[in-house]
């Protein structure tokens, strides 16, 4: 049986681990946060003492860490975990990082006989918990098949978007550009409606039946109005992802005035509210009594 290892058992990694436990895949895992590791073990996951132990045992190593710096802390060739990877194994990089970094990482791992699947996901923690993610995958046939076998447990939709690492991260960054822009505009629009004296919940109901509807509006608007700022996806994560997308745009000479404006909103929110609140907290900036 394939041994699945997970490094990074926070919100998304923990949700993926939980689903795999329920579907009897018996994953092993590690997180530097003792509480996250304890939750994983309490749900039936097999906790390991460090990242190296997970890497050494895994046929499929799933990395669900925050950013490029944390990926490097595990996969830098000078690190014990990277040295513990077995030839022929697959690393599934779920993290949203820069496409250029992913391409270079794939080349580096290939020299060690390791397959890299560039595989960010979409749908957020709520959909991860019920196995309804969208998987965006790019990699060779061995890497793709290693993760495709898990797809029925994890996802509603699977898209193979390329045969080598990089393409999936381009698509994820562009998706995050759209998502963050929608979140910022949703908060701004609700603020306008409230300031105009109209019931925002009635507005929400009308929009959901009208041309302005979107999944982001349908999911975020009620959370904004209910002060539900649970960190399913945080202000800091979207600020990171927007930075990746806008750097990608700069490298390719693409104009992004709307996304640049959204980045400014998220940057201001991070300064005023902190990075750890759920992204609906951006609405706090647009309440008439709080507008700054």
User: Is the domain of 103 the same as that of 65?
Assistant: yes
Residues in the chain: 292
User: Is the domain of 178 the same as that of 43?
Assistant: no
Amino acid 290: pLDDT: 67
The last residue of one of the domains, among 164, 191, 216, is 164
* Backbone φ and ψ of 57, nearest 5°: -95, -15
Q: Looking at residues 143-168, what average pLDDT do you find?
A: 96
pLDDT greater than 50 at residue 130: yes
For 34-72, how does the pLDDT look when each residue is reduced to its tens digit (9 = 90+)?
999 999 999 999 999 999 999 999 999 999 999 999 999
Q: Is residue 292 part of a domain?
A: no
User: Is the domain of 27 the same as that of 76?
Assistant: yes
Q: What percent of the chain is predicted at pLDDT more than 90? A: 96
pLDDT greater than 60 at residue 292: no
pLDDT greater than 60 at residue 121: yes
Give me the catalytic one of 104, 172, 240, 264.
172
Q: Is residue 237 part of a domain?
A: yes
Q: Looking at residues 21-43, what average pLDDT do you find?
A: 97
User: Is the domain of 157 the same as that of 197?
Assistant: no
User: Is the domain of 110 the same as that of 76?
Assistant: yes
Q: Is residue 158 part of a domain?
A: yes
pLDDT bucket at 1, cuts 50 / 70 / 90: confident
For 203-224, how does the pLDDT look when each residue is reduced to its tens digit (9 = 90+)?
999 999 999 999 999 999 999 9
For 222-253, how does the pLDDT look when each residue is reduced to its tens digit (9 = 90+)?
999 999 999 889 999 999 999 999 999 999 99
User: Is the domain of 155 the same as that of 192?
Assistant: no
* Residue-range definition of the domain harbouring residue 254: 170-285
User: Is the domain of 157 the same as that of 236?
Assistant: no
CATH number for the domain that contains residue 83: 3.40.50.720
User: Is the domain of 92 the same as that of 188?
Assistant: no
The last residue of one of the domains, among 112, 142, 164, is 164
User: Is the domain of 134 the same as that of 190?
Assistant: no
The last residue of one of the domains, among 164, 192, 215, is 164
Average pLDDT of the chain is 96
User: Is the domain of 214 the same as that of 229?
Assistant: yes
Q: Looking at residues 171-184, what average pLDDT do you find?
A: 97
Q: Is residue 234 part of a domain?
A: yes
Most confident range (mean pLDDT) of 75-79, 114-118, 288-292 is: 114-118
Q: Is residue 291 part of a domain?
A: no
User: Is the domain of 68 the same as that of 205?
Assistant: no
User: Is the domain of 22 the same as that of 158?
Assistant: yes
Amino acid 291: pLDDT: 52
Q: Is residue 265 part of a domain?
A: yes
Which are the contacts of 279, defined by CB distance < 8 A and separation ≥ 6? 180, 183, 220, 233, 234, 235, 237, 238
Q: How far apart are CA 292 and CA 202, in angstroms?
A: 26
Q: How far apart are CA 5 and CA 3, in angstroms?
A: 6
22 is catalytic: no
CATH number for the domain that contains residue 174: 1.10.1040.10
Three-state secondary structure call for residue 83: helix
Number of domains the chain contains:
2
**First and final CA of the chain: distance in angstroms?**
56
Q: Is residue 83 part of a domain?
A: yes
**CB-based contacts of 152-156 (< 8 A; 24+ apart in sequence):** 153/19, 153/20, 153/23, 153/25, 154/16, 154/19, 154/20, 154/128, 155/121, 155/131, 156/123, 156/127, 156/131, 156/132
Query: How many CA within 13 A on the CB side of residue 99?
Result: 22
Q: Is residue 290 part of a domain?
A: no
């Amino acid at each position: 049986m394939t041994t699945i290892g997970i490094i990074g058992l926070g919100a998304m990694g923990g949700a993926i681990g939980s689903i795999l436990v329920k579907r009897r895949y018996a994953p092993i895992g590690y997180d530097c946060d003792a509480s996250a590791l304890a939750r994983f073990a309490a749900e039936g996951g097999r906790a390991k003492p460090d990242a190296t132990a997970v890497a050494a045992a895994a046929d499929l190593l799933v990395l669900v860490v925050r950013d490029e710096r944390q990926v490097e802390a595990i996969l830098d060739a000078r690190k014990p975990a990277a040295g513990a990877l077995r030839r022929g194994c697959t690393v599934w990089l779920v993290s949203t990082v820069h496409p250029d970094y992913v391409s270079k990482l794939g080349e580096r791992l290939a020299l060690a006989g390791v397959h890299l699947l560039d595989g960010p996901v979409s749908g957020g923690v709520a959909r991860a918990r019920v196995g309804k993610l969208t998987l965006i995958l790019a990699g060779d046939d061995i890497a793709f098949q290693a993760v495709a076998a898990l797809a029925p447990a994890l996802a509603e939709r699977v898209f193979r978007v390329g045969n080598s690492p990089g393409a999936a991260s381009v698509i994820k960054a562009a998706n995050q550009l759209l998502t963050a822009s929608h979140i910022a505009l949703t908060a701004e629009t609700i603020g306008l409606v409230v300031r105009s004296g109209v019931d925002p919940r009635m507005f929400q109901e009308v929009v959901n039946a009208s041309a302005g509807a979107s999944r982001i509006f349908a999911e975020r608007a009620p959370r904004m109005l209910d002060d539900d700022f649970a960190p399913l996806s945080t202000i800091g994560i979207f600020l990171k992802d927007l930075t990746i997308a806008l750097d990608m745009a700069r490298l390719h000479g693409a104009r992004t005035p709307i996304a640049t404006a959204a980045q400014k909103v998220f940057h201001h929110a991070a300064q005023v509210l902190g990075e750890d609140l759920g992204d609906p907290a951006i609405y706090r900036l647009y309440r008439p009594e709080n507008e700054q």
